[in-house]
Amino acid sequence: MSDAAAIPAIKTLPDAQTVTSVTHWTDRLFSFRVTRPQSLRFRSGEFVMIGLIGDNGKPLLRAYSIASPAWDEELEFYSIKVPDGPLTSRLQHIRPGDEIILRPKPVGTLVHDALLPGKRLWFLATGTGIAPFASLMREPETYEKYEEIYMLHTCRTVAELEYGSQLVAGLKNDPLIGELVGDKLRYYPTTTREDSPLMGRITDNLESGKIFDHYSIAPMNPKDDRAMVCGSLAFNVDVKEVLEGFGLREGANSDPKEYVVEKAFVGDGI
Ligand code: FAD
Ligand code: A2P
């Protein structure tokens, strides 16, 4: 049973959804699944507002990428735990049976429609920025539209990669999507502050050509390559510069081009 004082019941709200499972990955990261409103339609890669009732009795909501694919009957989220964060200091204590608020209005730029057709698709993420790609890596359209998919995820430590690495490990044998995934998905997880088999920042590994050498492929070019980016503001700014250096241009839902970007979170003072 959960602590009723910590997670107030929100059954009276129309947008309440029930938590079905919670997994704690590190002291800073957890994932959870909730029931899906029957009416909710979204495109894999989009985000919604979720939250709890705040101390003032009003909804306390934050943007969250939906980490599950559009076909999943539940919704999955992958979350940071900010010690003093208004929402996550409390959200990290949710347990199965608890309820959260979920506003069923999905939006976002990390969607297939925002990219022109291409041959290779690059998912570039740091930290919890892997969440929209956890959705897109399980989306059939990803494998129908592209010949090769590269998932580059960078964290400070190995433990922070675990959610993504377990998800990828399970994909090939997934009864629904496994056959489509086949050998198309290439997962390149790196750390920057702890030794691991693959090391270094995504920006450095792209700029140096290390990643292209690793897979024995040609460097990025605007004809073949499409990219989706999700990380801290600093990461997004630096990756954009690298992608533009390869000749890729930023697109949007209304103006598809070669790459799209979304913030994984809004940093302090930004
Ligand atoms: P806040 O007051 O919101 O944040 C406090 C500080 O914590 C921030 O200033 C920042 O420095 C840091 N911080 C916040 N979020 C993160 C993070 N994810 N990683 C590292 N540091 C962080 N968060 C998720 O955990 N998972 C998601 O899928 C996710 N998707 C998002 C999608 C969008 C489009 C945006 C704009 C944000 C997203 N966020 C996501 C961030 C999320 O909205 C909240 O900021 C986060 O849940 C913390 O809420 P809080 O109220 O506890 O603290
Ligand atoms: P580094 O350890 O070299 O700073 P954070 O936890 O600070 O959000 O960082 C998550 C991961 O993203 C870390 O591995 C970090 O590497 C990397 N990172 C942070 N800022 C950038 C950036 N501007 N360009 C590339 N990688 C970055």
Distance CA 187, CA 149 (A): 8
Q: Is the CB of 154 under 6 A from ligand 2?
A: yes
- Tens-digit pLDDT profile for the chain (270 aa)? 445 455 655 555 679 999 999 999 999 999 999 999 989 999 999 999 999 998 888 999 999 999 999 999 999 999 999 999 999 999 999 999 999 999 999 999 999 999 999 999 999 999 999 999 999 999 999 999 999 999 999 999 999 999 999 999 999 889 999 999 999 999 999 999 999 999 999 999 999 999 999 999 999 999 999 999 999 999 999 999 999 999 999 999 999 999 999 999 997 544
Closest CA to 77 of 143, 126, 20, 15: 20
Q: How far is the CA of 212 from the centre of ligand 1 (A)?
A: 32
Q: Is the CB of 156 under 6 A from ligand 2?
A: yes
Torsion sign over Cα 245, 246, 252, 254: positive
Residue 95: helix, strand or coil by DSSP? coil
Q: Is the CB of 233 under 6 A from ligand 2?
A: no
Q: Structural domain boundaries of the chain?
A: 16-106, 112-261
Q: Is the CB of 81 under 6 A from ligand 1?
A: no
Token pair recorded at residue 228: 């989706």
CATH topology of domain 112-261: Rossmann fold (3.40.50)
Strand spans (E) along the chain? 16-24, 29-35, 47-53, 59-65, 74-80, 99-107, 120-126, 148-155, 185-191, 225-231, 259-263
Q: Which of 124, 126, 195 to mutate to test the pocket of ligand 2 (most atoms within 8 A of CB)?
A: 126
Rounded to two decimals, the pTM is: 0.95
Does the domain made of 16-106 have the CATH classification 3.40.50.720?
no
